[in-house]
Amino acid sequence: QKEVEQNSGPLSVPEGAIASLNCTYSDRGSQSFFWYRQYSGKSPELIMSIYSNGDKEDGRFTAQLNKASQYVSLLIRDSQPSDSATYLCAANAGGTSYGKLTFGQGTILTVHP
Amino acid sequence: ETGVTQSPTHLIKTRGQQVTLRCSSQSGHNTVSWYQQALGQGPQFIFQYYREEENGRGNFPPRFSGLQFPNYSSELNVNALELDDSALYLCASSLAPTTQYFGPGTRLTVL
């Protein structure tokens, strides 16, 4: 069983729509969660971090965390073609694994005009 | 731009050779983590250095080794290269083992 799982997609949405990206994790000790965006041939770029249950908003992005369900999501409002990329979900475990990020395999998002 | 730099950008080696990859962390950051990203996969944690000491290691063999220097820059060394070592190697910098910011990566090809 993978520790962090994402729908690999691809997810295709029209410009201006809401894109919804989902992630589940298996380690209940995970304490913090991150969404990274990765353009083809580039390195991951941090979009959002979330540590507490509930929603966290930053501009067009909203991260949602539900620790009871071991579920993290990222909503992108008013999607733009420039949002087309691979989105990586990562969990940071606690205890002796603190500092290690465990990534999902990524979800490919395409926003078409 | 994260302020994290890596060198070289690209590298081609043959099986059995050794390679050293370098990373300079963002100013003020004392922690460097290394990840391997195969094509189409998420990054896999190799190890982390905090104040020059190894602070956690992933499921990689001992031929993957590292160093962190007093200025918090870091090296990743891989001995006896195998074809499966071909990947994008990412260095991430952070202040303590918290939010990590990635450098541009080094693309390693093993022939």
pLDDT tens across A73-84, in order? Answer: 999 999 999 999
How sure is the predictor about A99, in pLDDT bands with cuts at 50, 70 and 90? confident
pLDDT at B97: 59
Q: Which of A25, A30, A33, A34 is nearest to A4 (CA)?
A: A25
- CB contacts of A100 in chain B (<8 Å) are 33, 45, 48, 56, 58
Show the CA angle centred on residue B20, arms to residues A99 and B83, nearest 5°: 90
Question: Is the pLDDT at A104 greater than 90, yes or no?
Answer: yes
Quick check: bond before A14 cis, omega within 30? no
Percent of chain B surpassing pLDDT 90: 80
pLDDT at A49: 93
User: What average pLDDT score do residues B88-104 get?
Assistant: 88
pLDDT at A9: 80
A107-112 and A11-14 as β-strands: parallel, antiparallel, unpaired?
A: parallel
User: What average pLDDT score do residues B27-37 get?
Assistant: 92
Q: For residues B92 and B24, what is the distance between their CA atoms, to the nearest angstrom?
A: 9
pLDDT at B96: 65
Percent of chain A surpassing pLDDT 70: 94
Q: Across the interface, which of B42, B98, B104 has its CB nearest the CB of A88? A: B42
User: pLDDT tens digits for A55-72?
Assistant: 999 999 999 999 999 999
**How distant is the alpha carbon of residue A13 from its chain centre?**
16
Residue B74 CB contacts under 8 Å (≥ 6 apart), including other chains: B22, B23, B25, B32, B34, B49, B66, B67, B68, B91
Q: For residues A67 and A26, what is the distance between their CA atoms, to the nearest angstrom?
A: 10
Show the CA angle centred on residue A45, arms to residues B69 and B72, nearest 5°: 10
Average pLDDT over chain B, rounded to whole? 93
Q: For residues A54 and A42, what is the distance between their CA atoms, to the nearest angstrom?
A: 30
pLDDT at A36: 97
Average pLDDT over chain A, rounded to whole? 92
Question: Is the pLDDT at A97 greater than 60, yes or no?
Answer: no
CB contact under 8 A, B56 and A100: yes
Q: Give A108 to chain B, closest Cα distance, Å.
A: 10
Instruction: Give per-residue burial for A16-41: e unless 16+ CB within 10 Å, then b.
Output: eeebbbbbbbebeebebbbbbbbeee
Q: For residues A47 and A39, what is the distance between their CA atoms, to the nearest angstrom?
A: 13
Q: For residues B1 and A89, what is the distance between their CA atoms, to the nearest angstrom?
A: 20
